[in-house]
Structure 1
Amino acid sequence: MNTNDDHDLPPPQTAQQALLALRERAEKRRYLVTQAVTDKSPDDMQRLVQELQTHQIELEMQYEELLLAQAEAESARAEFVNLYDFAPVGYLTLDALGCIRQLNLRAAQQLGSIRQRLLGRRLALFVAESDRAACADFLQQLGQSSDQRHTCELDMRRQDGSPWFGLLEGSQVSFTDHEPRYHVALLDVTERRATRDALAASETRFRRLFEQSADAVLLVRNLHIVDCNQAALHMVGASTKEQLLRQPVTYLVPELQPDGQLSADVLERHHQTLRRQGISRFEWYRYSLQGEGMWLETTLTNINVSGEQLMQVVWRNITEQRAAREQLRAEKEYTKSLLDNSLDAVVALDCEGTITAWNREAERYSGQAEAQVLGCNLFVLFPQFGERGRAMLRQVLETGERAMQANLPYAHRPGHYDAYMVPLRGPEHSTITGLLLVIRDITERNRLQEETTRLQLTRQQEVLSAILATQEAERKRIAEALHNGVGQLLYATKLHLLRSTDATRDKSLTLLEDAIRMTRTISFELTPGILEDFGLAYALGELVRRIPEASLKASLHVSGLEVPLPKLLEVAVYRMVQELFNNIIRHAGAQEAFIHVVREGDQLSISVEDNGHGFNPEPRPDALPGIGLPGIRSRVGLLGGTLHIASRPGQGTIITIELPVR
């Protein structure tokens, strides 16, 4: 029943196209057969044709199924070839000797050559010599079992000798000519191996550091100790790790910390910080196995050990450091207390003048708090102290000795102060690391000194008053004695001589007249009654009038004496002017003298000027001391005044006295 039409049809391209073509041919042949057999044919012939037709159709259907199966096989083969050749994993087929019988493109790339050159070569040639024994063992394991998979990691070498690490996984699959075949998958695990080696090295280093660390180190899982080093055992006084392993981290920790916090709360708070930040550090108190208390600086860190997330706890015994810190804090507080309770303002400076410390007294003096001035330059902050302070600072830095400036006035308030600047040296005492400025308020001291001076002057004036009063009383007594005694006696003698007729009477009367006049003069000089009766201005005028013009031409100028002066001061002024006149008459050899006595407010000025031959105000060491000027100096000093002498030989003398009027 085959016709040439079967050979004329083109081969099908796909299974669906082949099925449609066969279906078309079957329909066409059925039509031709049906047309060829007519009703005129015998029945047997008709049945035979029908059977042949049916058989033909069955064969064609089987042929269709075969074509369809072939197409699917080709498709599957194409997919297998695609998967095999372009798979990201290298595939090899090895014989019993380890020779490569088949491999894909990835395997060729891994071995560093093309497939044609690799076929028939032993896989061991691409294995480092150190791992070839392991490669042989792997092939032996594959030959001994047909239903198990075996793996092996080898140090491989490419065709050009470059190293890499390969993971081989294979199994025995079939026998050809009684020879086993092995299918092997080849993975490049170089990066994984490097990562694993790095991790192993890291873990080795960690273990070495863990064991050899000088700090106590513990590994904690779920807040329980799973490992610890020797330093941790030594710190808590344990002899074996079993004494600490599986214990909670709060083991040997008191329920309450010294500051009153619950130890469990402290740990939980820092555990939460560890979760947020990856690290937490704090201090807490615990005991050793022997009950000895200690302070530990505890550091919590998350760490990965062999793929397991653990918490690393580092203990550092800071008992001594904490004690030293507490002592330092106490000393600083003590120092701060001393500074704050100091009566002086104390300011610490660096070598540039920047403020580093500032006590309460300095705050009170300046009105600025410590927080406002720390870090500021003292001389910029207080310009009024600037140039003077910089000079002191330079002096201290250059000489290394303290500097002082005394009795400085405040800029914004009344009063005075002394400033001291002292160098601060480092531990070696060789370099100056800073300076200490001490400001001492001397306002009260000055007031007390002034009060003391005033009291001393008052006492001196009282003493002078007593002395002058005593002198005046004694002079008055002597004057009265001269006037009432000697004077009366002389006057009586004069009267007696007037009645006498002796030839010597005239001469005796003359002598008696001189004696009486001299006695009156002495009496007047001893106690000028007119000072008490008419005041200082008239008494000074009378003193000038009694000087003979032949001896000295004197001029007097008085001003401001309308209001009487204190009696003691009037007597002192009169006696000083009297003594100055006596000095001019006796020693100056002057023809003219000018006297000015002027009161202005609470100040009395006395100026006595002459045109005599002058003298040296500084006495010679070999000169005998007089009683004139020293007496005047003594009186001026007792009265709290000042004495100034301006004199040069041949150019006259000017003596000026300034006295306070109290």
Structure 2
Amino acid sequence: MINQKNMPEVVSELRHRAEEQFIAKKGAIVLPGTEKDTLALLHEFQIRQIELELQNEELRRSKEELETSRNKYALLYDFAPVGYFTLSSDGAIQTVNLTGANLLGIERSLLANQRFEHFVADEDRPAFADFLRMVFLSRDKETCRLKLSKDDNQPLFVRIEATAAESGEECHAALMDITERRRAEEALRDSEYNLAKAQTMSHVGSWRSDPLTGALNVSDEMLRILRLGHDEVTQEAFASVVHPEDLDTVMDNLRLGIEQGKNYEIEHRLLLRDGTSKWVYTIVEPSVNAAGKVVKLYGTTQDITERKQVEVELRNQKNELQAIFDSVNDGIIIYDQNGLIQHLNHFCQQLFPQEVLPGRSCRDIFHTEIPSSPQNCPVERALRGERVETSMVSVREGQKTTYIDITATSIEGAQGEKNRALVFFRDMTEKRFQELQLIQNDKMSSIGVLATGVAHEINNPLSSVAGYAEALLRRFRDEPALGEDKRLAAFPKYLEVIIRESYHCKRIIDCLLNFGRKSDGSVGRVDINGILLEILELLRHQWSGGYIEVVTNLKKNIPLIHGDPTGLRQVCMNLLMNAHQASKEGGLVEITTDCTDDKMVCVKVRDTGCGIAQDVIDRIWDPFFTTKEVGKGLGLGLAITYNIVKSHGGEISVESHIGEGSQFTLYLPVNCEQAGRKGTDF
């Protein structure tokens, strides 16, 4: 390895080897004098050649080291975190490093001789011109902040420091990106502004206290709350506006905060100089050093006067609402999002003494056997946003049966919370018994109307049956020979008539007894076709004159209805009686039954009678409203019919035109789930 340090030793070694070679050649060969000189000159030339080669090698290595050093400093120059520029006196760019070119967003090769001011935002160009002039005038380092304009429209803020060169014809400038710092400064200013605005809007003031020196630092909003000036920021001034009755409590809490270094919160009053008072809410957080000593107290104080006034008003309104709540004769329960009782009035405890304690579930009333019943429980359905109208029967040992109508509605959350449920319970026991009594009374009225015809229909056949049957049967028993007498050949025919008439009377009597039987409110599976045929059998004597034609279109295998058979008989009787009374001689009464998707049974009763005027058609369901002549009816039939149909979860409607007749259409659900009721809730 040849370097600058061992160069003499290498040269000396080469000289020594050349001399040895020369002496060896000289001893071996005898040369003339001229040749000796030539050989010596050749030896000197070889030594000189070696020295030149060594020098060349050294120069090559020095050049490589210089190139390496130059490249290293070029990299440091180009990739420095600061942009370096050389600018002429008129602001033209002479040289620039890679960082500077990247800051300007232009390729470095394109920046030569471009004016730097072209990259400065329009509003900052005058400032840059003044800055550049001062750099060349003062010959000292000058600093300026500028906003650069880039093609991507993204703002770039820089700080430029420049110093003029000795020649005075150019200057060297360093460009630093301060965009993030500028943004941080703007964010800090915005934060301080927003904090001040937030304190003003929320009526919250902040303060800082030094327990050792007593120094206070307060916000403008804090001074506004206390109604003090900036020259009154002292602990004495603060204490002077605390209400005298609350001063001891405030000072005790402050003392404990300083001694123990614990956070605390307190509500107290202020008594201002103008005699008005305020309520404030203060939170204090002590700052403790490593020795456990409190060095600062940080506090926020909020003006809660309006909140206190609202709380008083809310308490008054709550008391008023609770008084109204308790004065309602219906039971009212509010269930929370989980179906638990949140509020209730006193009437609920009369209906359900054990089931409606606060915190109890809707399960205790509506589905005691299973945890949930999303299809039948009115509370769970209301929590899903439905409105539910249903009814139930409460049976308690040793007490009378209670009939209750239930209305459940959803209470939507104001801020997107889950729904709650509002449930009304109305005791319908007395009304239910009154309805049953009205039904019974109406039945008795209908039976009275039919009494004459029934008596005629029954008495005459029974008289004939009783007389002929007893005589003929007695004689045929006593005298067997009578059966062989040809003159008595017609007797078997008479007996057939007797038997037929007897069964006919029995059917009439059976139907009459079924219709007149008092309803006990029980439910079961009902064949609507069978009920219609029973009623037609009862009314046949009235229609037997032939002046009204009865047509039946009863669908076979129609689904059974879950309902009260006595109530449904009353409905059919009322509709058929109305159709008969509205029809004239030669009229038509058509009875049709059908079903829709095995969910609803449809009954249509159409007549070709007088019809109902459109101005009164909406009133036909009202109790005691009638279009019949005086003495022809009480106006309760359709009202009772409407209530019975509704209690079964069905619908009834009418279409009518004067002189063309009417059609009553009745829809009844097939099962209790579709009616929205439990087994015996009719």
- With the length of structure 1 as denominator, give the TM-score of the two structures: 0.41
Instruction: Say which structure, 1 or 2, has more relative contact order (CA 8 Å, 6+ apart).
Output: 2
TM-score by length of 2: 0.40
- Which of the pair has more CA radius of gyration? 1
